[in-house]
């Protein structure tokens, strides 16, 4: 037979558990309430590249729709320099309150390996919110190069070790080409350019033989016969250029080097706000007009969860760190 103490223990335990549950709700409530009310003031959307470029256009499309959703201003703040490291340093030092967002891109995974000192930690200083998508690049050669496809170009380059050159316009394109060189087993010389325009001019004049650049940049030149595209750098063929084979199809196993973009916030931003922004960005990316504008820039949209995006960034960091170490390329 149970004692009075034993009979009273269960109700007491039940009350205690109910109290704990109530306390948990109270603890979580401020964060949930903040997310429901967010934003109550202007949100700064930092971009690491100058106004007017493709990255800036993408940011403004997203900022305009978020402004409409939230009935608050979302101001694009361009902070170019050092392959976006300046912008990332600003984001890393910003208050983690949801009022600073960042158009994060491949540089967060590349720059820590490529530069001796960067003003941010790629893991601790950012709260990944969602991937926006990938922009595959095209591999283009000068029309005078006697190669109609990837296999012919590789054979041509191998027979002329160190005689051919490529144009490097940024850390992502440089490392994409260094990765290509290793995967294809070729040796071509890097020539640095201050931007895509002078590099493409050099390619069209035949001063260099190869450039890896965005699909939106190279396709018009290819259609005009000024360059010859031999491959796309994505895992699969692009719906925008279905006739262009992937580098993998062309005999470069495992070669994928797309530039990606996403949304992030400072590292300790509350999860409730991260989830709110994630939901709203995914919603706007599903709008037909937004999809059309971004697809027109060559972006393959692929929004995901904060966890999936964080995992992708970690994998990218490991991938490009290995490429930098194996290529010996470094900017001090």
Distance (Å) of CA 197 to CA 6, 40, 191, 214, 224: 82, 41, 14, 12, 16
pLDDT reading at 286 higher than 80 = yes
pLDDT band of residue 23 (cuts 50, 70, 90) is low
Mean pLDDT within 107-118: 92
Instruction: Examine the pLDDT at 279 and tell me if it is beyond 70.
Output: yes
Residue 194: its pLDDT value, please? 76
Question: 122 and 155 in one domain?
Answer: no
Q: Are 225 and 297 in the same domain?
A: no
pLDDT at 5: 52
Overall number of domains in the chain: 2
In terms of domains, do 146 and 211 share one?
Answer: yes
Residues 175, 191, single domain; the answer is yes
pLDDT of residue 255: 94
Same domain (yes/no): 288, 227: no
Is 238 within a domain?
no
What band does 25 get if pLDDT is binned at 50, 70 and 90?
Answer: very low
Q: Shortest CA distance to 230 belongs to which of 325, 151, 316?
A: 151
Name the average pLDDT for the chain. 89
Q: What is the pTM of this model?
A: 0.80
Each residue's pLDDT tens digit, 243-273:
999 999 999 999 999 889 999 999 999 999 9
pLDDT confidence bin for 34, thresholds 50/70/90: low
The pLDDT score that the predictor gives to residue 31 is 52
Residue 172 predicted with pLDDT over 80? yes
Residues above pLDDT 90, as percent of the chain: 70
Mean pLDDT of 1-19: 54
- Quick check: is 302 in a domain? yes
Pairing of strands 137-141, 74-78: unpaired
Q: What is the DSSP string of 209-249?
A: SEEEEEHHHHHHHHHTTSSEEEEE-SSS--TTSTTSPBTTT
pLDDT surpassing 70 at residue 7: no
What confidence score (pLDDT) does residue 280 get? 98
CA–CA distance, 70 with 86 (Å, rounded to integer):
28
Residues 117, 168, 50, 293: what is their CA dihedral angle, to the nearest 10 degrees? -120
Q: Using CB atoms within 10 Å of the CB of residue 24, give its burial: 0 to 12 exposed, 13 to 18 middle, 19+ buried.
A: exposed
Q: pLDDT band at 327, cuts 50/70/90?
A: confident
**303: containing domain:** 37-134+259-327
Same domain? 193 vs 224: yes
pLDDT digit string (tens) for 174-216?
899 999 999 999 999 999 887 788 999 999 999 999 999 988 8
- Looking at the fold, whether 45 and 129 belong to one and the same domain comes out as yes
Phi, psi (deg, nearest 5) at residue 265: -135, 170
Residue 169: inside a domain: yes
Contacts of 190 (CB under 8 A, 6+ apart): 165, 166, 168, 174, 177, 178, 329
């Amino acid at each position: 037979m149970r004692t009075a103490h034993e009979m009273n223990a269960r109700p007491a335990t039940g009350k205690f558990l109910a109290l704990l549950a109530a306390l948990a709700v109270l603890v979580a409530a401020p964060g949930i309430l903040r997310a429901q009310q967010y934003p109550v003031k202007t949100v700064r959307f930092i971009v690491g590249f100058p106004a007017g470029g493709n990255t800036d256009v993408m940011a403004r499309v997203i900022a305009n729709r978020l402004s409409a959703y939230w009935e608050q201003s979302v101001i694009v703040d361009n902070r170019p320099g050092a392959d976006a490291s300046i912008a990332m340093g600003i984001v890393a030092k910003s208050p983690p309150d949801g009022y600073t967002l960042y158009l994060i891109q491949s540089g967060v995974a590349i720059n820590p390996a490529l530069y001796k000192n960067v003003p941010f930690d790629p893991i601790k200083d950012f709260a990944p919110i969602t991937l926006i998508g990938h922009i595959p690049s095209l591999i283009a050669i000068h029309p005078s190069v006697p190669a109609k496809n990837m296999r012919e170009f590789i054979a041509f380059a191998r027979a002329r070790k160190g005689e051919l050159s490529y144009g490097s316009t940024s850390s992502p394109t440089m490392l994409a080409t260094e990765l290509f060189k290793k995967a294809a087993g070729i040796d071509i010389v890097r020539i640095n350019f201050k931007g895509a325009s002078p590099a493409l001019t050099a390619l069209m004049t035949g001063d260099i033989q190869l450039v890896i650049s965005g699909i939106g940049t190279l396709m018009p030149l290819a259609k005009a016969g000024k360059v010859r595209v031999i491959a796309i750098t994505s895992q699969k063929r692009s719906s925008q250029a279905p006739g262009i084979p992937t580098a993998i199809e062309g005999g470069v196993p495992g070669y994928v080097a797309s530039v990606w973009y996403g949304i992030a916030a400072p590292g300790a931003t509350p999860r409730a706000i991260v989830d709110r922004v994630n939901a709203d960005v995914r919603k706007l990316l599903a709008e037909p007009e937004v999809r059309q504008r971004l697809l027109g820039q060559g972006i393959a949209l692929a929004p995901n969860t904060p966890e999936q995006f964080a995992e992708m960034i970690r994998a990218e960091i490991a991938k490009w760190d290995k490429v930098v170490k194996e290529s010996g390329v470094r900017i001090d």
